[in-house]
Structures are given as C-alpha cells and as structure tokens.
Amino acid sequence: MAQIDDGTTTNTIVACLSSIGGAQLAITTASAVVANVLPGVAAVDKVCRVAASWGPNYAQAALDGTLGMQDNALTVPSGLTTLRIGSGLAGTASFGGVISNLGLVLRTMDATELTAVSNFGLPGSEPAIDIAPNDGRILDSDYAGTLTATAQQVSGVRPISFGNYQYANPGWRRRFRTRSRSLVLHFQNLNLVSGSYNGKGAIYVDGVLKTYFTSPQALGKFLVRLDFSSNADREIEIVMPHSAAIAHLGVTTYGAPITAPTSRAALPRAAFLGDSRFQGFNATGIDKTWMEILCRAKGWQHINLGYGSSGVTSAWGTDLVNANPDVAFVMFDYNNRSAQTSLLGFKNSYKTLITNFRAVKPTTKLYAVTSNWIDTAQDALPLKIADYRQATADALTEVADANNILIDGLTLTANSTASIGDGIHPNDVGEAEWAADIAPLVSV
C-alpha cells in the first residue's frame, strides 16, 4: 500500500497493489471518497494511468482501466508533503507484501533548494556530526590562566587561587562556524565554585545575542540546542559565566561540519584585576557586566582576574603581567575597608603591585579605579571607603608615571541603590552606566 496525503486525514490517495487481486486506488477529498477502483483486474502488467487534478492541499486521480498506460505529466502541489508505505488507511501498519518498483517524479527544485540538498541532504534526514571539544576548529580566547583540552572536555583554571574563584572563567569564549540549521552544545558544571555563584552564560550568533544558558550550582551535564530557519554560514560564540566552573564537552551539528572562525588573537587584551566588582557580582549574567560591555564596544579581549572578596595583594602584579595585557585595570578597596587594613599598609601594597607590573610593562596603560558609591549602611566601620579612595590616589601619586591613570569611581554610576542595588555592587543598570561612563576615559 502507498498513501500520499497533505498531512491531514481528509485528503488522501491510497493505492493497494496485490498479486492476488490486481489493484485498488481510493481517492478521498474532504473526507469524501471521490474515486475507488476495486480489485479484480487479472492482468498482471496493468499499471496506473493517472488522470490528475491538483490544487492546494488536495489531489484527485483514477485508474482508467487501460493496460500498459501511464500518465507521467503531474504537478505535485506544495501541500502534499507525506508519502507513506504500509498497510491500512494511515499506512502505518506492517506491510504484508513486496513492492517491486516504486517511482517518484518530483518537480524541479529551485537553486536554493538544490544547494541546500547538495550541502546538507534532505530536510529531517541530516546526519548527526559529533565534534570533540578539543577540535582545532573551535578557537578559544578571552581567558586568563590555563585551559586543559582533551577529547572529553575543555576546562580552564585562572592563575590566582582565591576562594575557589580560580575555577570560574568570566568571559572565556569558544567560537566556531557552521552552516548547520540545528546544533547542540554540550556542557558540564564541574561544581567547583563554592562562593557566590552565577551560572548564566551567553551564546552569540554572528555577534548578536541569541540565547542564554543557566546551570544550577550542582555537578551535572546539560545541553543547549540552537535551531535556525535556513542554511547559512554562522559564527557561534559561547561566553562562559562569571562565577561558575563550566566545562565544554563538544558540539553536535546536523548535516554540516564546523569550520574555524577568524581568530581574536590580534585584538587588544584588556585585563581586569580586582575584587567582586571586577568579577561581575550582582550582574544578572556575563553579558551585563561592565567589563564585557566595554570590551565588546571597544573590540578588546576580556581577560578577567576579578576575585570576589579579595583585597589588594602586591604579588598579584606579577599575575597581571602574565596576562600580557595591552591595557590594564585595577580596583581594590572595599574588602580592605571591611578588614580595616591600615591605610599605610594598603597604600604600600598598591604601590608594590604597580611597581611589579611596571617592571615588565613599562609603557602599558594601567587604570586604577577607586570605589563606586557605597551605601552608608555598608560603610559603618571607623576607616571609611573614602579613606581607601584617597590611599589609592596617594599610591599613584607616589609611583609617578604618566601611564598610571586614576579614575574616580564616584563618577561612573548614579550614587544610589538604583544603580548599586545592594549598596556595594552595581546591578545591571549600574554596570551599563559604568561601561558607558568609563569608555571615553580609556584606551590602549
């Protein structure tokens, strides 16, 4: 039995071929039988002569009883999309005989369809292609520290071990190109970040945000599927969350391989060394952090060395050097205020950090950003945030260098909880303000 229908039960052509009874053809339009040729013709060489009447979502045909004749001048309407071979009206039961020959004559495809079929096969039958995470056509960028790449997973560890935030890789990108209309991205949450958590990453297509992925704070695998309406060469860009340890396990495409994108290696590297406000805390996702917004606008790589709850540590100047920045940003003060670090000790540590950096990077611009507005309720200790702002300014004055540039954090956002939601960290509004206000002040 062969059945052609328009995806409904109302308009069908059902052909039953039998070595016992000859042939039967039943035509149904709008649930009414309009033609029904019954078995009983003994001639085994009888074939179908089809008298056709076609239109949107319907088809009519009949056997005319003439031996050895076949009408092959048919135009198949666009509404007829299904060919079923089987038993019963639905064509879904097991088939109890043998079809010796089945011929289908299709209309001529247009150029777009021919290209798509040539490249990808018929829609819905594209073969799955599994791509290992360490495939050389997937390019990594915008990360600090070390990536470990195997055929099973790629993961990263940042150079400073502090609060388990070394396992978070804010802004780390994985990029590739593909013409596949559907693909699946495979991930695993390694569950190594024990502090403040945010597992919301972003996926861009040709530089435009496509979707987010969010991983719960638990060990486990998860996947993200992307679907497109057409075959076109696209760049897929994965941007990792700012406070979660996420490994990439690979890609599955359908009907099309991947190719390497243009490398980001030549883009300037902007390194951000600081506390939670440089890691991105209180932003709803990685794409909302001021560092990510700034770097995307400037065409820079985002090299993140922000560590929540950290204070100024002179030895970290060497880690900043090792990130090989073309421009550097530093911000410490709030957690030193919380610890009530002596102002002299704070200033001297800041000076040593800058000196360590300058020993290797004598001409690279270093922007020291003082604290944003802090709510009075968060500044109740004897030494105030204003004292540490001044100590930062004093450190830059004493390490006199034209490439050491002070930026007043009080000028970067609205000084209220409308922008600094918890009284310490900028929210999405404050992050956007910060990025917009600092952009004209900084350059490579």
User: Strand runs (DSSP E) across 92-199, as ranges?
Assistant: 128-131, 139-141, 146-149, 154-157, 173-178, 182-189
In the chain, where the domains are located: 2-85, 129-259, 269-441
Supply the pLDDT for residue 111: 72
Supply the pLDDT for residue 297: 98
What gap in Å lies between CA 278 and CA 346, rounded to an integer?
Answer: 19
Supply the pLDDT for residue 110: 72
Instruction: Please name the residues in contact with 147: beta carbons below 8 A apart, sequence gap of 6 or more.
Output: 140, 154, 155, 156
Supply the pLDDT for residue 325: 99
Q: State both tokens at 368.
A: 């020291």
In the CATH scheme, what is the homologous superfamily, with its name and number, of domain 269-441? Answer: SGNH hydrolase (3.40.50.1110)
Pick from 75, 74, 98, 94: which is nearest to 84 by CA? 94
Number of Cβ within 10 Å of residue 280's Cβ equals: 30
CATH class of 129-259: mainly beta
Contact 407, 441 (CB under 8 A): yes
C-alpha dist (Å) from residue 260 to 44, 146, 246? 59, 21, 22
* Separation of CA 370 from chain center: 34
Contact 116, 42 (CB under 8 A): no
38 DSSP 8-state letter? P
pLDDT for 76-127, tens place per residue?
Answer: 445 545 555 554 444 455 555 555 555 555 556 677 666 666 555 566 667 8
Query: Which parts of the chain sit beneath pLDDT 70?
Result: 1-109, 112-125
Question: What is the DSSP pairing of strand 200-205 with strand 234-239?
Answer: antiparallel
Instruction: Please name the residues in contact with 23: beta carbons below 8 A apart, sequence gap of 6 or more.
Output: 15, 16, 17, 37, 39, 41, 46, 48, 63
